């Protein structure tokens, strides 16, 4: 059985500095365990379409300033 590659989704970097501490911890753990993975950087506007394409369900009814947001960022 072939092993599937881990895909780590991260917020796109600005000025070559990644700023998502939740993803830092995961990346550090994968590196420590020497687990192969690939990183896909996403802009904020690309998060919902990407997750919908992967059939990841959204949080129901998250409202902020009168707008419904289906996905939250860590």
Domain of residue 10 covers 6-69
pLDDT at res. 1: 42
Q: Any idea what the CATH number is for the domain that residue 35 is in? A: 3.40.30.10
pTM of the prediction?
A: 0.66
Instruction: Establish if 1 belongs to a structural domain.
Output: no
**Residue 18, in any domain of the structure:** yes
**How many domains, the chain?**
1
What's the farthest any 2 CA atoms get from each other in the chain? 48
Return the structure tokens found at 50. 């990407």
Q: What are phi and psi of 69, to 5 degrees?
A: -115, 120
Question: Is residue 46 included in any domain, yes or no?
Answer: yes
- pLDDT tens sequence across 2-24: 567 899 888 887 776 777 788 88
Interval 20-29 mean pLDDT: 88
């Amino acid at each position: 059985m072939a092993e599937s590659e881990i895909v780590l989704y991260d917020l796109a970097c600005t000025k070559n500095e990644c700023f998502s501490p939740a993803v830092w911890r995961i990346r550090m753990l994968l590196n420590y365990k020497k687990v192969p993975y690939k990183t896909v950087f996403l802009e904020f506007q690309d998060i919902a379409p990407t997750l919908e394409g992967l059939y990841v369900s959204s949080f129901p009814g998250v409202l902020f300033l009168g707008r419904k947001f289906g996905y939250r960022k860590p």
